Structure 1
Amino acid sequence: MNAITKILKDSFTIANGNDYDIGRILWALGVLTFCFLAGWAIIKNHQAFDAMSYGGGLAAVLAAGGAALGMKQKTEAP
C-alpha cells in the first residue's frame, strides 16, 4: 500500500483502521460540494468572487464537521 492510499484510508476510517466512518465521508463530500458550488457560481453564473464570504462559509463547514467528529469520537469503539 503506497503512502497516499494509506493517508486516505486513515482519513476515512475509525480508530480500528478497517471500518469506514460515514461522518468523515460526508464531511469530505460537503467540502467538495461547497467548493464545486462556489466554482459554479463564479465560472458559470459570472458572480463576483468574495473571499471573505467564501472563507467564512468554508470555515463554517469545516468547523461543523470537526465539532461533529469531536463529539462522536468519545463514543467511538477503539
Structure 2
Amino acid sequence: MTDEYKKALGIPADHTLTEISSTREQRKGQDADIYVFEERNAAGEVVGTHQIRDTMSIYPPQTRRIIVE
C-alpha cells in the first residue's frame, strides 16, 4: 500500500514513508483508515508529514478511494 500512497502524494521514489499513527472510523456506509506518515529523504531526514484517508464502501460496488488530507 505504501507505493499507492507515495503515488497519491507525489513524493520522489527515493523518499520513504514511515507510519507514525493510524485510526479507524466507520460511518455512512464507509470504512475509513486514517494514517499519518513521516516522509523521509534518502539521508533519513524528516522532510514532511502527511495524512491519508483510505476509504472503502461497505456496500456493493465496494469502491476504494485514497484521499490526501
TM range (shorter): under 0.3
- Please, what TM-score do these two structures have when normalized by structure 1? 0.24
- Please, what TM-score do these two structures have when normalized by structure 2? 0.26
Q: Specify which structure has the higher proportion of strand.
A: 2
| Greater RCO, 1 or 2 (C-alpha within 8 Å, sep 6+) | 1
Q: Which is greater in Rg? A: 1
